[in-house]
């Protein structure tokens, strides 16, 4: 698909970590007709408001990076909004895009859509083959319904609606709130504040043995733009690096980069989550895209960004 630079591109969630990275990636390539609305300007859970927005703006392309997100604690604590609000957001966007006859719709999901004990690495065809990880099944179910909605539209209407499933994302503008953040930014903040507190001990959840894959958000943004500019034959593609590390290895790397010299304690009474989540990224690689930012480089860049913006977190009680 050849995308002309003047096409009107709507990024849902343009102020979030992923949406902001996509906007930067588009601007680097010369796209200028990019639109976005904050949640205060447009409540994506409100179907009438979303339909009115599409009727007025008439976007050519829609990139859906809008979602209610969080880690194990947030998913466990707020199952209903993680299920319902995500379904409301994506359903309104998908349906309005179909009715408005947009040229291309890209739905961004998460690797948590795959079964808890699926074979590794995770292939796209493993979707719905067995049960989900209980600690984030609410979010996963919402995202699965979005993938299937886009697949149904492709099947019934022949529209160019596709889904990209990224592995664990991190980078600038990440969420560093310890109650709602994912593992990498939570670790970074914990180690930083412990270092500031005289290298105090840091306690982390679980055993440290689960394995996780991490993708820099700028790589995810580049993958999204690549998918936008291409015409794909299928509806679902994994996005990742194809390599993973143990949570303990991640913790030691972040600890070293932050410069924390205190003790590291693992609280085995807390859940580990899925034992392993490595993505099979061969399908997207076959189309000509692969990640470029290695984990250490990405974490160093993210920590530099955190230090430049750490004032916003100082008043939040741990």
User: Any idea which residues carry the catalytic annotation?
Assistant: 139
17 is in an annotated binding site: yes
13 is in an annotated binding site: yes
270 is in an annotated binding site: no
165 is in an annotated binding site: no
168 is in an annotated binding site: yes
205 is in an annotated binding site: yes
199 is in an annotated binding site: no
β-bridge mates for residue 211, sequence order: 246, 276
14 is in an annotated binding site: yes
143 is in an annotated binding site: yes
CA distances 164 to 3, 46, 63, 200, 253, Å, are 18, 24, 11, 40, 28
Output the DSSP codes for 116-145. TT--SSBPGGGTTSSPPPGGGHHHHHHHHH
Q: Which two tokens stand for residue 66?
A: 């809008």
3-class secondary-structure state, position 246: strand
Question: 73: burial class by Cβ within 10 Å (0-12, 13-18, 19+)?
Answer: middle
154 is in an annotated binding site: no
Given the structure tokens 């580990």, which residue do they identify? Answer: 272
Strand 211-212 and strand 245-246: pairing?
antiparallel
* Phi and psi, residue 120, nearest 5°: -110, 145
169 is in an annotated binding site: yes
Given the structure tokens 């005289």, which residue do they identify? Answer: 198
18 is in an annotated binding site: yes
212 is in an annotated binding site: yes
Secondary-structure percent of the chain, ordered helix, strand, coil, rounded to 5 = 45, 15, 40
Annotated binding-site positions for substrate: 190, 205, 212, 272
Q: Extract the annotated binding site for NADP(+).
A: 13-19, 108-111, 143, 166-169, 182
Binding-site residue ranges: 13-19, 108-111, 143, 166-169, 182, 190, 205, 212, 272
């Amino acid at each position: 698909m050849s995308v002309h630079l003047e096409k009107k591109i709507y990024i849902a969630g343009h102020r979030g970590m992923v949406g902001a990275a996509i906007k930067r990636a588009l601007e680097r390539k010369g796209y200028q007709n990019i639109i976005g609305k904050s949640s205060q300007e447009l409540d994506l859970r409100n179907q009438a408001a979303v339909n009115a927005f599409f009727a007025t703006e008439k976007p050519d392309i829609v990139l859906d990076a809008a979602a209610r997100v969080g880690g194990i604690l947030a998913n466990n604590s707020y199952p209903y909004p993680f299920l319902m609000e995500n379904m409301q957001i994506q359903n309104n966007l998908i349906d309005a895009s179909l009715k408005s006859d947009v040229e291309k719709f890209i739905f961004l999901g998460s690797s948590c859509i795959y079964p808890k004990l699926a074979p590794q690495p995770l292939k796209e065809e493993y979707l719905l083959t067995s049960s989900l990880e209980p600690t984030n099944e609410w979010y996963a179910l919402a995202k699965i319904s979005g993938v299937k909605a886009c697949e149904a539209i492709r099947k019934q209407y022949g529209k160019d609606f596709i889904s990209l499933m990224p592995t664990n994302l991190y980078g600038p503008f990440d969420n560093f709130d310890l109650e709602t953040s994912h593992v990498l930014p939570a670790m970074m903040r914990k180690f930083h504040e412990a270092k500031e507190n005289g290298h105090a001990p840091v306690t982390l959840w679980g055993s440290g043995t689960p394995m996780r894959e991490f993708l820099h958000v700028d790589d995810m943004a580049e993958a999204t733009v690549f998918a936008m500019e291409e015409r794909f034959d299928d509806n679902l593609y994994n996005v990742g690096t194809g390599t993973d590390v143990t949570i303990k290895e991640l913790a030691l790397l972040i600890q070293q980069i932050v410069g924390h010299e205190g003790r590291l304690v693992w609280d085995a009474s807390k859940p580990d989550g899925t034992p392993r989540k490595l993505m099979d990224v061969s399908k997207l690689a076959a189309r000509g895209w692969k990640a470029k930012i290695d984990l250490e480089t990405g974490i160093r860049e993210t920590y530099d960004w955190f230090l430049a913006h750490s004032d916003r977190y100082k008043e939040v009680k741990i």
